Amino acid sequence: MGVGMANFISEGPIEEAARSIASIIADRDVRMRFERRAFRALRDDPRNARHLRRTAAFDGAPAWALEALATGKPVHAFVLHPECRRVLSAQAAGLQSMASVLHAFGAMKTDKQRALVIMARELTAFHHTMSSQTLAAKIAAAQRMRAAVDAETAAQTRVCAPQRIPVSTREAWVRICTLQELDDTGAALRNCLRGAARGGNGYGDRMSKGFAAFWRLERDGAPAAVAMILANGVLGEIQGPFNRPVDLRDPAVAALLEAAVTQVNLHVFNRNVAVPRERVRQLLEFIEQCPAA
């Protein structure tokens, strides 16, 4: 006979539904514990119980069910309610995510990773002892922590090989290779690159997707300017502290142009002009010689 709030004619469909919902969890132990949890939740939720009123449609039903129906006692068929499926499927997806954390972050390197692993261990080992509300809250908190860890990892992942362009004994251009490095450079120069690691501007996307390369001018070991070179070799921007413009006649700029730039777009005489790198200095010298209007 069925148990719980409803008197189910068969628990087979409940077991099948619980098994199906839990199947997305790769770890066997976690999956089996959740399957048992899901079974209990499905069995005890009255929304999944359909009251049967006739015996004709249930040939082969157990004798107790036929007797109960004949005497007017309640007998139920299991029909999975969509909201029950949604809630349990979300829990299963959250536990699968947490189980994968234990494989992805076996070597814990940061405080956020350590906190996430602790949360994942608790959820995967003891989720079957938690109420539905507690489980949902803990999964939500762990997923927020995982998003923070993923952002932290992305910010520290190199998107290019380190490069260096010497200028003098005091100066060199250094290729920026991570979003965190781009963010730190913006913070040091107090310019619009700040927030790149947190997705606060479009510069991080341009670098991580390969649309642009960023170079930092280091002078005596400290950031002095930053340049953005587009994927087609065009010098997009070059700025100093507080987004101040950098003189293109600076020898450090000449070294960057020679090594990494094919073209510079300038606004000259109320016109946008594409200038090959080898003509930039010549054009600037000509403009310098022109008398002021």
Three-class DSSP labels, the chain: CCCCCCCECCCHHHHHHHHHHHCCCCCHHHHHHHHHHHHHHHHHCHHHEEECCCCCCCCCCCHHHHHHHHCCCCCEEECCCHHHHHHHHHHHHHHHHHHHHHHHCCCCCCHHHHHHHHHHHHHHHHHHHCCHHHHHHHHHHHHHHHHHHHHHHHHCCCCCCCCEEECCCCEEEEECCCHHHHHHHHHHHCCCCCCHHHCCCCHHHHHHCCCEEEEEEEECCEEEEEEEEECCCEEEEEECHHHCECCCCCHHHHHHHHHHCCEEEEEECCEEEEEEHHHHHHHHHHHHHCCCC
CA angle 244, 247, 250 (to 5 degrees): 130
pLDDT value of residue 199: 62
pTM: 0.60
Domains contained in the chain, CATH given: 12-155 (no CATH), 164-289 (3.40.630)
pLDDT value of residue 2: 41
Rounded to an integer, what distance in angstroms lies between the CA atom of residue 179 and that of residue 198? Answer: 9
pLDDT value of residue 118: 92
The residues pairing with 216 across neighbouring beta strands, listed in sequence order, are 174, 226
The residues pairing with 52 across neighbouring beta strands, listed in sequence order, are none
pLDDT beneath 50: ranges in the chain: 1-4, 56
pLDDT value of residue 75: 77
pLDDT value of residue 287: 64
